[in-house]
Copies of this chain bind each other. A is one copy, B any other.
Amino acid sequence: MQIRIGIMGYGNLGRGVECAVRQNPDMTLAAVFTRRDPKTVSILTEGVPVYPASQALEHKDEVDVLILCGGSATDLPVQTPEYARHFHVIDSFDTHARIPQHFAAVDDSAKAGGKVAVISCGWDPGLFSLNRLYARAILPQGADYTFWGKGVSQGHSDAIRRVEGVADAKQYTIPIQSALDAVRSGSEPELTTRQKHLRECFVVAKEGADKAKIENDIKTMPNYFDEYDTIVHFISQEELDRDHSGIPHGGFVIRSGKTGWEGENTHIIEYSLKLDSNPEFTTSVLLAYARAAYRLGQEGVSGCKTVFDIAPAYLSPLSGEELRAHLL
């Protein structure tokens, strides 16, 4: 029994889903949907149709779970409620402040269509959220900390590219070792934004641009950089392409807590990710939840879910007996 996967949007995430399907023997790539002219979209998998996004509903009987690979700013707020009426869907919606309203819209639609929708899936939100939940439930008296990186922030890289005189740029978010060490000591430190992360920028300046001004414009940029210590390196386009073309990321969720009659014992729970490819790892998470959504749908469940609502066993291709015998 194969789970037929559809991809909506063929960018970095879409290609990640395509690669991940090959690693899951219980899944098949059934279709790719794109807003571009399908004739211009060349996918990696042989024999799989590429359809216009506008015709997705005509193919709904060919797809069990549709993975929505659009952006959180404008694509997903429209797409997820729209498609959740017709497909089980998974998205990686990550605009934190809008999650409640996104959840409500998707829930209405998925329930109306009798489908399962998993939103805000991936690693943060996603696996990191899970670890915050488990760790807080287990150690109620304590503090937790999320660190991101070392990794590429697409949003910050884009912000630098909008600075006058900048031709291209890549920004790395880097957790500060002394902050990690303080958290791991169990001392429950209060950490400012500046104490937790460093921002390192590799910038290609346009010919004749004022580098001192560029550096100042970056370091003082509100919200993006002004609350951080920021390092700016000017390099050539060749160097940027050669040394900074990857999309690595990762991070840490650490909770320390006290137990005992007088809180005399300290415990540290740490979860970390070190990822060569942010989009490929993210889509690997999406596919595990696609399996869960499909199974929940088979059981007659419908509505919007997050990683919090789904029992871990649904993610694994193994049966309950196999899980208990081999992984417990």
Contacts and interface: CB of A to CB of B under 8 A. Distances in A.
Interface of A: 16, 18-20, 22-24, 44, 96, 99-100, 103, 120, 125, 127, 129-134, 136-141, 184, 257, 259-261, 265-277, 280-281, 284-285, 288, 291, 306-313, 315-317, 320-321, 323-325, 327-328
Given A133-B313, A137-B291, A137-B315, 8 more contacts: A99-B324, A133-B315, A184-B274, A260-B277, A267-B274, A269-B273, A310-B311, A311-B311
Contacts of A280: 259-260, 265, 267
Contacts of A291: 137
A313 B306 CA distance: 10
B138 A321 contact: no
Contact of A260 (B19, B24, B132, B270): B19
Given A306-B324, A309-B313, A327-B133, A268 B259 contact: no
Contact of A138 (B125, B269, B284, B320): B284
A10 to B, nearest CB: 14
Contacts of A315: 133-134, 137-138
A319 to B, nearest CB: 11
Contact of A271 (B16, B266, B270, B306): B270
A19 B261 contact: yes
Contact of A274 (B96, B268, B308): B268
Contact of A275 (B22, B125, B267): B267
Contact of A100 (B19, B270, B325): B325
Contacts of A306: 323-324, 328
Contacts of A327: 129, 132-133, 136, 308
A133 B267 contact: no
Q: Could you say how many copies of this chain the assembly holds? A: 2
Given A138-B285, A312-B130, A268 B273 contact: yes
A288 B138 contact: yes
Contacts of A23: 140-141, 259
B325 A308 contact: no
A44 B261 contact: yes
Nearest to A184: B274
Contacts of A281: 138, 259, 267
Contacts of A260: 19, 277, 280
A119 to B, nearest CB: 9
A309 B320 contact: yes
Contact of A139 (B284, B312, B320): B284
